[in-house]
Amino acid sequence: MTRVLCPALILAAPSSSQGKTTITAALASMLTKQGKLVRVFKVGPDYLDPQILRQASGQPVEPLDLWMGGPEYCQQKMYEAALVADIILIEGAMGIFDGDPSSADLAAHFGIPIAIVMDVKGMAQTAAAIAVGLANFRDDFDVTGLIANNCGSERHAQLIRDALPASLPLLGTLKRSDAITLPERHLGLVQAEEIQAELKQKLAAGIEWIEASDLKYILDVVKPVEFHPVAKEKLLPIAPELAGKTIAIAKDTAFSFIYDANLRLLTDLGASYVFFSPMYDDVMPKADALWLPGGYPELHVDKLTSNLSMLQSIRDFAQTDNAILAECGGFLYCLESLADLQDNSFTMLGLLQGKGQMRERGGCQGMQTAPLPEGDIRGHSHHRSLSFDTPEPIAIGRRPKHPAPGEAIYRVGNITASYLHLFFPSNPQAIAALFKEL
């Protein structure tokens, strides 16, 4: 079996909000500016961080999750990246040991070293103590060193450096800078498409930020990792079961939670797809199936509800025998109405009985399996709304290791709808069946 060597590093942290995305994006931008081909991955399910990282690297950004995609999927994607990349950067999720599987599990499974990213504001020697504790909590992966973010001064950096053992070097210290801070909203970062000019400026500032630190020498400390392809018999079979089918996909700032891996699978299944905007287009394109992915419909209700010709176009499509998949934001769009945090109610498509209501705190979260009639499809849930007065579900999402019920899954005529975001490569045959005529 052919192997390939490529420098690779996972940037993980004690918790969220330590600066992982900002630093990963800045490193990718700097190396890309130097003429390096940088492939970036994101641990776990995430739509927003990859948009930023794609802009920084100029390359597609894939999610890596040992449960959602499976070990073979992750192995093959990294092998394919290693064939062309000068370096692979992987942004961790939450804290280094959070989740099951976690960033540490990915590091251990594939032998990829970790750089600990830590916001050191308000501490010095304690930062070293935390880093040592993280590095030694388990013995099945290696830690390359510590990246100290929000470091106040050279004296601050020296206190941390002196407290670290020789086995855990300080890879770089990054000064506090508002110029590189990425804007956020509920559910995470603001979408890259919404802040193109601002993001370009922040990535340029990020390059200067990295070049002012020892992190500019990152290629000198990242070691090559061996990557192997997956044996063909272990890969899920993909037949062109959707040959000749065209799938219309909603895509604009209201509907943008779309994995490149999902699009690639549709193509592998023989389908073609065409994007359209429920906000700005007059009618949906001619198609054999419709996918309404997640996003932020609650931020764009005025445009969505005032586009009467598009609403009618989708309603007309729903009267055919063609399949419709609606996920999270797409599910809310299919309901009778959606109310914002001030209880202002807006009329939606009305394809499904029920109402949506935005709320301050989170809803049902985490990894789940959707037990559909076509087969089990893995995915995840993350939202700040609830739905009520909905039909009886055909199934309930199953959590991997927790007995609590997951998201309700609805099937009304040709419409399959849920809060769940499905990861298509987890079951290609079920996805093919889902998008065929019901």
Of 167, 169, 198, 158, the C-alpha closest to 182 is 198
Rounded to an integer, the average pLDDT of 391-399 is: 96
Judge if 4-227 and 240-435 fold alike in CATH terms.
yes
Pick the more confident residue, 240 or 203: 240
Pick the more confident residue, 233 or 370: 370
Rounded to an integer, the average pLDDT of 310-325 is: 96
For the cut 50, the answer to whether the pLDDT of residue 396 exceeds it is: yes
The span from the CA of 67 to the CA of 369, in Å, is 10
328 tagged catalytic: yes
Q: Given CA atoms 135, 68, 64, 175 in this order, what sign does their dihedral have?
A: negative
Cβ atoms of residues 376 and 368 within 8 Å: no
At residue 438 the predicted structure's pLDDT band, cuts being 50, 70 and 90, is: low
Percent with pLDDT over 70 in the chain: 94
Residue 360's pLDDT is 76
- Domains of the chain: which residue ranges? 4-227, 240-435
Of 175, 176, 169, 215, the C-alpha closest to 25 is 215
What single string gives the DSSP state of each residue in 37-80? -EEEEEESS-SHHHHHHHHHHSS--EEE-TTTT-HHHHHHHHHH
Pick the more confident residue, 375 or 195: 375
Can you tell me whether residue 24 is helix, strand or coil? Answer: helix
Pick the more confident residue, 52 or 197: 52
Residue 188's pLDDT is 54
Rounded to an integer, the average pLDDT of 274-283 is: 97
Enter the tokens of residue 328. Answer: 């999270």
| 53: amino acid identity, one letter | L
The span from the CA of 72 to the CA of 28, in Å, is 26
Strands 345-347 and 337-339: antiparallel
Rounded to an integer, the average pLDDT of 337-357 is: 92
Rounded to an integer, the average pLDDT of 358-379 is: 87
CA dihedral 437, 237, 65, 193 (to 10 degrees): -50
- CATH homologous superfamily of 240-435: Class I glutamine amidotransferase (GATase) domain (3.40.50.880)
Rounded to an integer, the average pLDDT of 278-292 is: 97
Residue 185's pLDDT is 45
DSSP H helices in 111-172? 125-136, 154-163
For the cut 90, the answer to whether the pLDDT of residue 402 exceeds it is: no
pTM of the full structure: 0.91
Whether residue 45 is preceded by a cis peptide bond, meaning omega within 30 degrees of 0, is no
The span from the CA of 192 to the CA of 202, in Å, is 11
Half-sphere exposure of residue 329: CA atoms within 13 angstroms, side-chain side: 22
At residue 343 the predicted structure's pLDDT band, cuts being 50, 70 and 90, is: confident
Of 24, 16, 13, 8, the C-alpha closest to 146 is 13
pLDDT tens, 34-77? Answer: 999 999 999 988 888 888 899 899 999 989 999 999 999 999 99
Can you tell me whether residue 401 is helix, strand or coil? Answer: coil
Residue with tokens 């995915």: 379
Residue with tokens 């093959």: 76
pLDDT, averaged across the chain: 91
DSSP H helices in 83-168? 103-110, 125-136, 154-163
Residue 362's pLDDT is 62
Residue 17's pLDDT is 87
Active-site annotation holder among 6, 74, 151, 328: 328
Cβ atoms of residues 171 and 215 within 8 Å: yes
CATH 3.40.50.300 fits 4-227, yes or no: yes
DSSP 3-state percent helix, strand, coil across the chain (nearest 5): 35, 25, 40
The span from the CA of 197 to the CA of 144, in Å, is 34
Residue 206's pLDDT is 80
Enter the tokens of residue 43. Answer: 């641990």
At residue 288 the predicted structure's pLDDT band, cuts being 50, 70 and 90, is: very high
Range from 13-27, 174-188, 229-243 carrying the lowest mean pLDDT: 174-188
| 349: amino acid identity, one letter | L
How far out from the chain centre does Cα 94 lie? 12
Task: Give the strands of the sheet with 337-339, arranged side by side.
Answer: 345-347, 337-339, 355-358, 385-388
Of 420, 294, 295, 297, the C-alpha closest to 357 is 297
Pick the more confident residue, 181 or 382: 382
Rounded to an integer, the average pLDDT of 226-251 is: 91
The span from the CA of 51 to the CA of 30, in Å, is 17
pLDDT tens, 113-150? Answer: 999 999 999 999 999 999 999 999 999 999 999 999 99
Rounded to an integer, the average pLDDT of 76-104 is: 96
At residue 250 the predicted structure's pLDDT band, cuts being 50, 70 and 90, is: very high
Helix (H) or strand (E) holding 418: strand 415-418
The span from the CA of 317 to the CA of 303, in Å, is 20
Rounded to an integer, the average pLDDT of 197-217 is: 82
